[in-house]
């Protein structure tokens, strides 16, 4: 199905069961189509090249390896209590570790733009995203995106590349919120866009039970776990914190839930 082949809008005569829907982004609305190790290597090289052009004395071989090791270290550190360390913070730390001067903000922006430009080409919109989102909006549902991501600008670009922004009231990232799903604060910031919403009116849709489902359960939302791109480590468990209200294989199945 192409974007132009939208499904029939849902009937609007009856109110939606879940008039407010929160969506994860990666592996839910869009998916990664590249070879991740190769894309990461190319991203690190692009970032390093940009910094060298800006006058930073960086070894083309050593800096990408050290920068990647620091990225991995911060990824480990951002587990519970689910604090987000932004990409800009990590890059500044990497430069400081290589005895570089304090970088100007525009240099950090340029380097990260080069870094993420490599991977952005490999993110594709799910085939059923546009028709499903169109039908949900036609039914009167309000939609928002809550994404765990260390760089807000990258997420905003991905949303625009997928041409899905018109469906959503807001796009909130952990880079801006300061915390990651399932931390309740990021969901509270999301709900601030809908002042009159009640928890029982909200459905969280995402591919990670550890982030999306657990976060929804913690605040009394319903959850829809989408499994088509679920990873082996996110397979079912008996832990009640990770039990979704609904399990779906495609976005289009939401139309029978909402």
In angstroms, rounded to a whole number, what is the distance separating the alpha carbons of residues 150 and 239? 28
pLDDT at residue 119 above 90? yes
The 10 Å Cβ neighbour count of residue 193 is: 14
pLDDT at residue 17 above 50? yes
Residue 20 backbone phi and psi in degrees, to 5 = -125, 125
Please report, to the nearest 10 degrees, the dihedral formed by the alpha carbons of residues 60, 61, 63, 69 taken in order.
Answer: 150
pLDDT value of position 5: 38
In angstroms, rounded to a whole number, what is the distance separating the alpha carbons of residues 189 and 175? 12
Higher pLDDT, 201 or 5: 201
For the chain, domains (ranges, CATH) are 20-33+124-256 (3.40.50.1000), 36-120 (1.10.150)
The pTM score is 0.92
**What Rg do the C-alpha atoms of the chain give, in angstroms?**
19
Q: Which residues contact 215 (CB under 8 A, 6 or more apart)?
A: 181, 182, 183, 184, 186, 187, 204, 221
């Amino acid at each position: 199905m192409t974007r132009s082949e939208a499904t029939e809008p849902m009937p609007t005569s009856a109110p939606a069961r879940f008039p407010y829907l929160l969506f994860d982004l990666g592996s839910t609305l869009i998916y990664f189509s590249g070879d991740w190790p190769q894309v990461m290597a190319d991203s690190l090289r692009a970032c390093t090249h940009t910094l060298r052009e800006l006058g930073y004395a960086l070894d083309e071989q050593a800096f990408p390896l050290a920068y990647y090791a620091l990225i991995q270290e911060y990824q480990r550190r951002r587990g519970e209590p689910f604090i987000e360390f932004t990409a800009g913070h990590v890059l500044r730390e990497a430069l400081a570790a290589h005895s570089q001067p304090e970088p100007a903000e525009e240099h950090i922006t340029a380097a990260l733009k080069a870094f993420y430009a490599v991977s952005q080409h490999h993110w594709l919109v799910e085939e059923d995203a546009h028709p499903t989102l169109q039908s949900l909006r036609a039914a009167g549902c309000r939609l928002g995106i809550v994404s765990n991501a260390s760089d807000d600008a990258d997420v905003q670009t991905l949303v625009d590349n997928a041409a899905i922004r018109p469906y959503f009231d807001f796009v909130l990232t952990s880079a801006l919120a300061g915390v990651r799903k399932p931390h309740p604060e990021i969901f509270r910031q999301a709900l601030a866009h809908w002042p009159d919403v009640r928890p029982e009116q909200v459905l969280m849709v995402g591919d990670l039970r550890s982030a999306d489902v657990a976060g929804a359960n913690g605040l009394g939302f319903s959850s829809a776990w989408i499994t088509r791109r679920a990873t082996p480590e996110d397979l079912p468990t008996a832990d009640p914190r990770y039990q979704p209200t609904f399990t779906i294989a495609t976005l289009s199945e939401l139309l029978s839930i909402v």
